[in-house]
Amino acid sequence: MTATNDSPVRAAGCVLWRHSPVDGALEVCLVHRPKYDDWSHPKGKLKRGEEPLAAALREVEEETGYRASAGRELSTATYMANGRPKVVRYWAAEAGPGTFVPSTEVDRIVWLRPEAARHRLTQPRDRELMDELVIPAERGRRR
How confident is the model at residue 55, as a pLDDT? 98
How confident is the model at residue 124, as a pLDDT? 94
In whole angstroms, how far apart are CA 19 and each of 28, 32, 91, 103, 139? Answer: 9, 21, 17, 25, 17
Question: Does residue 18 sit within a domain?
Answer: yes
**Would you say residue 105 has pLDDT above 50?**
yes
φ/ψ of residue 43, rounded to 5: -165, 165
Question: Does residue 3 sit within a domain?
Answer: no
Region 82-102: mean pLDDT is 97
Question: Does residue 88 sit within a domain?
Answer: yes
Count of CB atoms situated within 10 Å of the CB of 36: 9
CATH number at residue 24: 3.90.79.10
How confident is the model at residue 136, as a pLDDT? 63
**Would you say residue 137 has pLDDT above 80?**
no
Question: Does residue 61 sit within a domain?
Answer: yes
Q: Which domain holds residue 21?
A: 9-138
- Count how many domains the chain has: 1
pLDDT bracket for residue 134 (50, 70, 90): confident
Question: Does residue 91 sit within a domain?
Answer: yes
Torsion of CA 102, 106, 112, 115, to 10 degrees: 170
Question: Does residue 2 sit within a domain?
Answer: no
**Pick from 54-58, 76-80, 138-142: least confident:** 138-142
31-59: pLDDT as tens digits: 999 999 999 999 999 999 999 999 999 99
Question: Does residue 143 sit within a domain?
Answer: no
Question: Does residue 4 sit within a domain?
Answer: no
Torsion of CA 141, 110, 89, 80, to 10 degrees: 130
